[in-house]
Amino acid sequence: MIDEQTDKSKPRSSFWKELPILLGVAILVAVLVRAFVLQTFYIPSPSMEHTLDIYDRVLVNKLVYDFRAPHRGEIVVFVAPTEWSGNPDGEDFIKRVIGVGGDRVVCCDPEDRLMINGQPLDEPYVFTENGVRDPVADEEFDITVPAGRLWVMGDHRSASGDSLEHWQQSNQNIQLATIPEESVVGRAFTVFWPVGRATWLSVPPSYDNIPAPQG
């Protein structure tokens, strides 16, 4: 015979007693995820148009670069150098990685393409509006990225405060024109808002053809 007393379900009051614990666990998990795994960022400027438009929101993987260095073609969020932002407390920027440590980046080949380690780079994402495309750079340059640093550029080249602009402004100081790998917060991998612009931020296949640095 089943004991009717032990067969009864828990009193409803126990749910309300456990609810604060459940909420606390949920908040803790959310905080840990935001701190170490994923974070959302909104786009405040036109420097990455039209890959990323103003007020787009992206998801950033903060864990990936704990296991490897950034790759060419990836879109990264980083804490900008004070010389870039003018903010000694730090400010997050978002750009595309064009060159990694050891890469020689040159502008330009006869078809107005950047050259990386001697290989022309097709950049279908460079800003185009009303049939007019930004030049990939507004002046010729020939640089080699120092070890442990990144040469980053916006997709809207004429509206981007990026490595090329700071190379020009610093009298061609390659250290001031590049960012340290350790300043990278994470990789932006998808636009999730607005819903009509939702897309994956994949690396264009043209980067697959870039050879390793020489020497």
Is 62 annotated as catalytic?
no
Tell me the pLDDT tens digit for each residue of 60-95: 999 999 999 999 999 999 999 999 999 988 899 999
Strands of 141-215, DSSP E: 141-144, 149-153, 179-180, 184-193, 199-200
Tell me the pLDDT tens digit for each residue of 12-53: 567 666 656 555 555 544 544 454 468 999 999 999 999 999
Tell me the pLDDT tens digit for each residue of 106-129: 999 999 999 999 999 999 999 999
Give the domain 39-209 fold: Umud Fragment, subunit A (2.10.109)
Q: Which helix (H) or strand (E) holds 28?
A: helix 13-36
Peptide bond into 50 cis (omega under 30): yes
62, 95, 160, 206: which is the annotated catalytic residue?
A: 95
DSSP code for 114: E
Is 95 annotated as catalytic?
yes
Give pTM, 2 decimals.
0.85
Boundaries of every domain in the chain: 39-209
| CA dist., res. 195 & res. 62, Å (int) | 23
pLDDT score recorded for residue 73: 98
8, 14, 47, 206: which is the annotated catalytic residue?
A: 47
Q: What is the mean pLDDT of the chain?
A: 89
β-pairing verdict for 114-116 and 184-193: unpaired
Q: For residue 163, report the phi and psi dihedrals to the nearest 5 degrees.
A: -60, -40
